[in-house]
Structure 1
């Protein structure tokens, strides 16, 4: 179905694997479009209740394949508007939890894509580098939006201005990633985390995601109003009724994502 990624659904989790290991999974136009399509497909599929994005081979993603843009003048603005911006926006439009399972280096736009995911899990061998400055460019693909919101402005500016590589341990210390796992068990640990999220009330998680991202751009009064709207929607779901029933009956809830 896809040429540059693999897509597989099992136990409620859609695993999207960036699959250009010989190029450290660097982005091409085809990959940008296939990731966007996979996100849309997962959003529509009721069997998918969580997404896990990872890389084949030793890298998560090394950023843009420079062989794709080498030679001649490049209109970087148009390049981003056509290839990357629709993909990054789709990460937020997909109202299911998206986990970046960073198995190796995440550089440039590869780091930005990891930041665009809701949760970041890292192998102990993973590393992150905002490498744009090393070729005289600015962090893109949401890097200037997500990075300061996740780790704070001061540290974000430092990483973006210096192009400093961040180890998995340091990424955990500064809040760039949520968990670090041993390299030997990383794929199993990341899948177990994803399956745990997939067993939770999917529509409530989607509403949490939507409301929190909107809250970044709204004042308190607007956020309170939107919380009331989101709570009204969540309160009408089968999973809410099941959660209340399970609590009253002192048993574990059996959520279905509806």
Structure 2
């Protein structure tokens, strides 16, 4: 399998791209593996997803060697199958309450940027570099790249990366908001795991509501969004997690959200 998945006690799901020898290039099998993993996470109601890639690079984008074996209608059908599975995986992860933490290293290109950008927290190694790459081979973006980049960087910076395909080093990626933070390469796994573990013990339903509020706020007028926030806060206050959080605060103790099911 080109995508590995393990769900640990406490609801931490580790999803690993396992084509390290090919830079974790996304072929049809990997796209379908990501979709299977996303659906399993949704079905098992995990609390946090940790997305990683084996080998020197997180993900170099689509598997051009696989694509080059096809042409014409066969190539169109194949690319549609790859993007349908990959995009359904992204939709499924986004619809879940569970936050996604991505740990990225080495080369991150094409759809790899989409995977990194789609995560709620993206921790990058200081050896990571980012290249859109699409127009360099005459392609246009997929994996949500043309949706995420304008929202993270602004349209001007997004177009700069998408049209020129210039390489962005880890430090610049952090500066412009493409990644959350940068750590030394030898600390990447530990830092990403620490972040995922901290989120695993948190109020999963509140995380999901917060994710949806942030996404909706990007396209909503202020008035309707304030109403949306008010309804969400009232619902959170009467939830198991909300009651436990307030009780812990007033009792001057750490809250225990793990006893509440992820959706409450």
Tell me which residue corresponds to 2:26.
27
Q: Aligned with 2:187: secondary structure? A: helix
CA distance in 2, matches of 1:79, 1:166: 30
CA contact (8 A) 1:12 1:195 kept: no
1:52 to 50, 53, 58: 50
Matched, 1:61 2:63: no
SS in 1 for 2:238: coil
**Partner of residue 141 from structure 1, selected from 134, 143, 147:** 143
- In 2, the alpha carbon distance for the partners of 1:94 and 1:107 equals 25
- Work out the CA distance in 1 between the residues paired with 2:228 and 2:241: 20
Instruction: After TM superposition, give the deviation of residue 6 of structure 1 in Å.
Output: 1.2
226-235 or 134-143, which deviates more: 226-235
The answer to whether the 8 A contact 1:21-1:57 is kept is: yes
Number of residue-to-residue matches in the alignment: 255
**How does the TM-score come out when normalised to structure 2?**
0.91
How far did residue 79 of structure 1 move?
Answer: 4.6
Please give the TM-score of this superposition, normalised by the length of structure 1: 0.93
Structure 2 unaligned spans of 5+: none
SS in 2 for 1:131: coil
Q: Which residue of 2 aligns with 1:241?
A: 243
Pairwise CA RMSD:
1.7
SS at match of 2:134: helix
- Pick from 89, 92, 96: which aligns with 1:90? 92
The reply on whether 1:17 has 2:16 as its aligned counterpart is: yes
Cα separation, partners in 2 of 1:195 and 1:220, compared to 1, 3 Å: same
SS in 1 for 2:130: strand
Encode CA deviations 1:27-74: one digit per residue, 9 max, x unaligned.
Answer: 11121111112112112324x211111100111011110122113123
Structure 2 contact 31–83 (Cα < 8 Å) conserved: no
Q: Partner of 2:191 in structure 1?
A: 189
Determine helix, strand or coil for the equivalent of 2:6.
strand
Alignment of 1:107-186 (within 5 A): 107-186=109-188
Q: Equivalents in 2 of 1:219, 1:39: separation in Å? A: 31
CA distance in 2 between partners of 1:105 and 1:155 (Å): 20
Q: State the 1:80 CA deviation.
A: 6.1
Distance 2:60 2:175 in 1: 23
Any runs of at least 4 consecutive aligned residues in structure 1 with deviations exceeding 4 A, and if so which?
none
Asked if the contact 1:40–1:94 (Cα under 8 Å) also holds between the matched residues in 2, the reply is: no
**Is this contact kept in 1: 2:28–2:81, CA < 8 A?**
no
